[in-house]
Structure 1
Amino acid sequence: MNQEQKAYISLINESSEESIVIKKTGWEEISLSVHTHQKHQIIYTLSGTLHIQINEANYFVPEKHIAWIPSECNHILSSNNRRVSLVIFYLNLPKETGKDPYGEFSVYSTHAVVAENLRFIASKGPFIERLHTPDLYDFAISFFRLLPTMNPHIENLLKTKVIPNDERIRPVLEYLIQHAHENLKIEEVAERFSFSVRNLSRLLHDSGIHFNRYLNQQRITRAIELFADGKKSIQEVAYEVGFNTPNNFNRVFKQLTGMTPKNYGGEITKKSHTNV
C-alpha cells in the first residue's frame, strides 16, 4: 500500500460520523494489502472484477455487482483484470437491534433502479455531510439501509477460496486454483500430493469441497474475469479456462451462474448503460 492510499484511508477514518465519503477510481490496477475502515464500505464494480480476501477466504465480485464490507473488517483488495473502475462509498449506519444486517460481508447483483441511485449519490461526492446537506444525506443513508433488501444476495461464485478443515489439503486447493485451466484429474492430483484417491476425496468432503465442482468454480470465475476484459470470444474463453468444448463450458457456466455465457454478456452490456 502506497502513501497516497494510506493517506486516503486516514481521511476516511477521520471524517465526520455523519458524512459519506465517495471515491471514484479510473481505469487502474487494484492491489491493496490488508487494511480496515471505521465506516462500512460499499464497492460498485463499474468495469472489471474484484477479489476480496477476508481472513483466509477469498470472495469474487463480478462486474456490475456490489460488495458490502462491514466496518472494522480487515480485508485485501485485488483484481486479475488489466484495468478496474470502481465507485466506493464509505458511511456509518445506525446500529440495529438483534442481528445486524450490515455486519456481514455480502455480494449483491444490481438492477437499473439501484444503478441509477448509485449514480445520483456518487455525483454529489466526494463528501455528503448531514451538516451541510441534511436532506441529501438522509436520502443516501436510507437508500443504503435498504440496499440489502433491494438486491439478491449472490451465493454462486461468491467464495473462490475456502478454509479447509485439514491443513494437509491447503496446498491441494492452491494447486487447483493455479492450474484450473489444465485437464486435471483427481487421480493425478492425489498422486502429486502423496494421497490415495479415496483419502483425498474424504479430506475434501470433510471440508465441504467436491473436486470437480471446485475446479469448475475456479474456471468459471476466471471466465467472468476474461469477459470483463472484453477481448475474447466465448469459444476462446472456454478453451482458455480449461473446457474441452464450448458446449461443456456453456452447460457448466449456466449451472453455476444461472445463465448462459451469451446471456451473461448481454446483462453486462445492458448494465453498462447505467454506469455511474
Structure 2
Amino acid sequence: MNQEQKEYISLINQSKKETVLIKKTGWEEVNLSEHEHQKHQIIYTLSGTLHIQIEESNYFVPEKHIAWIPPGSKHILSSNNRRVSLVIFYLDLSGKTNEHPYRDFSVYSTHNVVAENLRFIASKGPVIQQSEFPDLYDFTLSFFRLLPTINPHMENLLKTKVIPNDERIRPVLEYLIQHAHENLKIEEVAERFGFSVRNLSRLLHDSGIHFNRYLNQQRVTRAIELFTDGKKNIQEVAYEVGFNTPNNFNRVFKQLTGMSPGCYGREIKKGSLV
C-alpha cells in the first residue's frame, strides 16, 4: 500500500458521520494490503474484476458487480486483471443497518436502475456533506440502505476460498486453487497429500466442500477474469482454465452463473449486466 492510499484511508476514518466519500480509480492495478475503516464501503467494479479477502475467506467480484464491506472489517483487495476501474463509496449507515444484511460482507449483481443511480451519486462526488446538500445526502443513504433488498445476493457462488474445519486440508485447497487449470483427479490429489480417497472425501465433506464443484468454481472464476480482459474466445478460455471440451465448459459455466459463456460475454460487452 503506497502513501497516498494510506492517507486516503486515514481521511475516511477521520471524516464526519454526515459525510459520504466517493473515490474513482482509473485503469490501474489493484493490490492493497490488509486494512480497515469505520464506514461502510461499497465497491462497484466498473471494469475488471476484484478479489476481496476477509480473514481467510476470499470472494470474487466480477465486472459490473457490487461488493458490500461492513465497517471494521479487515480486508485485502487484489485483482488478476491488468487494469481495473472502480467506483467506491464510503458512508455511515449506522442505526438499523447494524442488523443483517448490512453488517455482513456481500456480493451483489446489478441491473440498469441500480447502475444509473450509482453513476448519478458518483457524479456528485468526491464528497457529499449533509450540511451542504441535505436532499442529495438523504437520497444517497436511502439508496444504499435499499440496495441489499433490490439486488440478487451472490455470495455462495463467488466465495472462492473457504475456511476448512480441519487444518489438514488447507494445503489441499490451496493446491486446487493454484492448479485448477490442470486435469486434477481426487485420487491423485489424495495420494499427493498422504490421504486415502475416502478420508480426503470425508474431510472435504465435513467442511462443506465437494471436490469437483470446488475445482469448477476456481475454473469459472478464472474464466470470468479472462472474458473481462477480452483477448480470448470461448474455446481458448475453456482449454486454458482446465476443461477438456468447450461443451463441458459451457455446461458447468451455466450451472454456476445461470447463463452460458457466450451470453455472459455479450452481456458484458453491451453493458446490460450493469
Query: Same fold by TM (over 0.5)?
Result: yes
Mapped to 2, the partners of 1:71 and 1:225 lie a distance apart of: 28
Mapped to 2, the partners of 1:87 and 1:98 lie a distance apart of: 24
The ranges of structure 1 where at least 4 consecutive aligned residues each deviate by more than 4 angstroms after the TM superposition are: none
Mapped to 2, the partners of 1:101 and 1:249 lie a distance apart of: 33
Pair 1:156–1:238, CA change in 2 (3 A):
farther
Pair 1:142–1:107, CA change in 2 (3 A):
same
Task: Answer yes or no: is 1:248 the counterpart of 2:236.
Answer: no
The residue aligned with 1:31 is 31
Query: Once the 2 structures are TM-superposed, how far is the Cα of residue 156 of structure 1 from its aligned partner?
Result: 4.5
Unpaired segments of 5 or more residues in structure 2?
none
Query: Once the 2 structures are TM-superposed, how far is the Cα of residue 271 of structure 1 from its aligned partner?
Result: 2.2
After the TM superposition, which residues 5-44 of structure 1 pair with which residues of structure 2 at under 5 Å, given as runs?
5-44=5-44
Question: Which secondary structure state, in structure 1, belongs to the residue aligned with residue 108 of structure 2?
Answer: strand
After the TM superposition, which residues 21-170 of structure 1 pair with which residues of structure 2 at under 5 Å, given as runs?
21-96=21-96, 99-170=99-170
Unpaired segments of 5 or more residues in structure 1?
none
Query: Once the 2 structures are TM-superposed, how far is the Cα of residue 270 of structure 1 from its aligned partner?
Result: 2.9
The residue aligned with 1:229 is 229
| Identity within the alignment, % | 82
Size of the alignment, in residue pairs? 274
Alpha carbons 1:156, 1:257 under 8 Å: kept: no
Question: Which secondary structure state, in structure 2, belongs to the residue aligned with residue 76 of structure 1?
Answer: strand
Mapped to 2, the partners of 1:100 and 1:202 lie a distance apart of: 32
Mapped to 1, the partners of 2:53 and 2:178 lie a distance apart of: 17
Pair 1:17–1:48, CA change in 2 (3 A):
same
Amino acid at match of 2:249: F
Question: Which secondary structure state, in structure 2, belongs to the residue aligned with residue 12 of structure 1?
Answer: helix
Pair 1:158–1:46, CA change in 2 (3 A):
same
The residue aligned with 1:200 is 200
User: Considering only aligned residues, what root-mean-square deviation do their CA atoms show, in Å?
Assistant: 1.3
After the TM superposition, which residues 180-199 of structure 1 pair with which residues of structure 2 at under 5 Å, given as runs?
180-199=180-199
Amino acid at match of 2:45: T
Mapped to 2, the partners of 1:143 and 1:76 lie a distance apart of: 26
Amino acid at match of 1:58: N
Write the deviation string for residues 189-229 of structure 1: whole angstroms up to 9, x where unpaired. 11111111111111111111111110001000000011111
Mapped to 1, the partners of 2:43 and 2:270 lie a distance apart of: 20
Query: Once the 2 structures are TM-superposed, how far is the Cα of residue 265 of structure 1 from its aligned partner?
Result: 1.2
Task: Answer yes or no: is 1:4 the counterpart of 2:7.
Answer: no
Pair 1:10–1:155, CA change in 2 (3 A):
closer
TM-score, length-scaled by structure 1: 0.97
Mapped to 2, the partners of 1:72 and 1:269 lie a distance apart of: 35
Amino acid at match of 2:198: R
Mapped to 2, the partners of 1:269 and 1:245 lie a distance apart of: 24
Question: Which secondary structure state, in structure 1, belongs to the residue aligned with residue 170 of structure 2?
Answer: helix
Mapped to 2, the partners of 1:126 and 1:225 lie a distance apart of: 29
Question: Which secondary structure state, in structure 1, belongs to the residue aligned with residue 90 of structure 2?
Answer: strand
Mapped to 2, the partners of 1:256 and 1:156 lie a distance apart of: 10
Query: Once the 2 structures are TM-superposed, how far is the Cα of residue 100 of structure 1 from its aligned partner?
Result: 3.7
Alpha carbons 1:67, 1:107 under 8 Å: kept: yes
Mapped to 2, the partners of 1:4 and 1:160 lie a distance apart of: 30
TM-score, length-scaled by structure 2: 0.97
Mapped to 2, the partners of 1:98 and 1:87 lie a distance apart of: 24
Write the deviation string for residues 224-243 of structure 1: whole angstroms up to 9, x where unpaired. 01111111101100000000
Mapped to 2, the partners of 1:230 and 1:37 lie a distance apart of: 34
